[in-house]
Amino acid sequence: MSDYRFFDRLRPDAAAERRAIIAGLLADSPAIAPKHFYDSVGCALFEAICELPEYYPTRSERTIFDEHRAEIADAIGAGRQFVDLGAGDCRKAETWLPHLEPSRYIAVDIAGDTLARALARMAPEFPALELTGIVADFTRGLDLRADLGVWPTAFFYPGSSIGNFVPDDARHFLSDIHLHCIAAEGSGLLIGVDTKKDRQRLAAAYDDALGVTAAFNRNVLRHVNSIVGTDFDPAAFAHVAFYNEQQSRIEMHLAARSAQRVRIDGTSRDFATGDLIHTEHSYKYAPAEFTTLLHEAGFASVRLWQDHARDFAVYWAA
């Protein structure tokens, strides 16, 4: 087989998504959900962020994977279905395929174009592996039971994307994954999570010297314009990112550089200089805290690997 299966489960929700974006923009404290970062420009900018010297999470996670790959693969076991949540360009998962020898690879992502390109690239490289792409927004709930059946499944959720949920939603999402896991013995979740550390390093990772993260943040306005027909000028908003120590999270916002009026769905909203639009939270977890979250979500056993600097953590939860 040198092909892949592809299911787009996003389109039926387009009207509801539009309404949700408009409601967020007109709310007392305006906000845009971080999933809207990822149009094709946003995906490319995120790939660039992962190469930046300030953005340590990708490199630290790669170090853990490289140093402990055999042990982690042994904990997971061979022959599972490998379900890549937020697969992006599928490169991270690809490094695991020779070690896990999965029965199938199922990549799930909200960015359909990026996913289709990745699977088209992989198909000739892995001719014997069944490849499936599912375009879906799992921040609205995860239900892959019909796709997965009752076969043992290894879920893969790297890159600390779990940090983009508020902790209660993270617990729900992890519980959803756990519900899928109890369908078949031998299932579990391989997840990468950023740790708490020096606030300057955290802040720099989200406000790099080149301004790539600033461009990534502002690009969400272009994407929102294209989805709901607003007339945001991305250049009229400044990137704001800081570590909120009390909440253990990076906060990203866009701040109006000057007073301006933005057209939103037949009405408009006035922004005064400095008014903020919230775009992302990125929660950081001490290993003990995240282990508790995994237990609360229903996982009975948790294994942990870290890099020497303990900048990042990788868990296998079963």
Based on its alpha-carbon atoms, the radius of gyration of the chain, rounded to whole angstroms, reads 20
Q: How many residues bind ligand AVI (CB under 6 A)?
A: 11
Return d(Cα 196, Cα 35) in angstroms, integer. Answer: 23
Using an 8 Å Cβ cutoff, are 297 and 287 in contact? Answer: no
Residue of the chain from 153, 160, 195, 230 that contacts ligand AVI (CB under 6 A) = 160
Q: Which stretch binds ligand AVI (CB under 6 A): 122-130, 143-151, 154-162, 258-266?
A: 154-162
With respect to ligand AVI, which residue has the nearer C-beta, 217 or 306? 217
Residues 9-68 that bind ligand AVI (CB under 6 A): 49, 57
Kindly tell me which residue out of 153, 195, 219, 282 binds ligand AVI, with binding defined by CB under 6 A.
282
Give the CA angle between residues 58, 211, 21 to the nearest 5°: 80
> Shortest Cβ distance from residue 129 to ligand AVI (Å)?
26
How far apart are alpha carbons 163 and 243 in whole angstroms?
A: 13
- The Cα-based distances of 253 to 7, 32, 36, 141, 249 in angstroms read 33, 9, 14, 25, 13
Q: Which stretch binds ligand AVI (CB under 6 A): 140-148, 153-161, 296-304, 308-316?
A: 153-161
Closest of 208, 204, 190, 194 to residue 286, by C-alpha: 194
Q: Toward ligand AVI, which CB reaches closer, 17 or 280?
A: 280
Minimum distance, C-beta of residue 78 to ligand AVI, in the bound complex (Å): 28
CA atoms of 149 and 158, how far apart (whole Å): 23
- Residues 193-252 binding ligand AVI (CB under 6 A) are 206, 213
Which residues have C-beta within 8 Å of that of residue 38, sequence separation ≥ 6? 46, 110, 111, 114
- Helix (H/G/I), strand (E/B), else coil: 231: coil
CB of 224 to ligand AVI, least distance (A): 16
Residues in 70-109 at the binding interface with ligand AVI, rule: CB under 6 A: none
Q: With contacts defined by CB under 6 A, name the span among 20-28, 115-123, 157-165, 270-278 that binds ligand AVI.
A: 157-165
Residues in contact with ligand AVI by the rule CB under 6 A = 49, 57, 159-161, 163-164, 206, 213, 280, 282
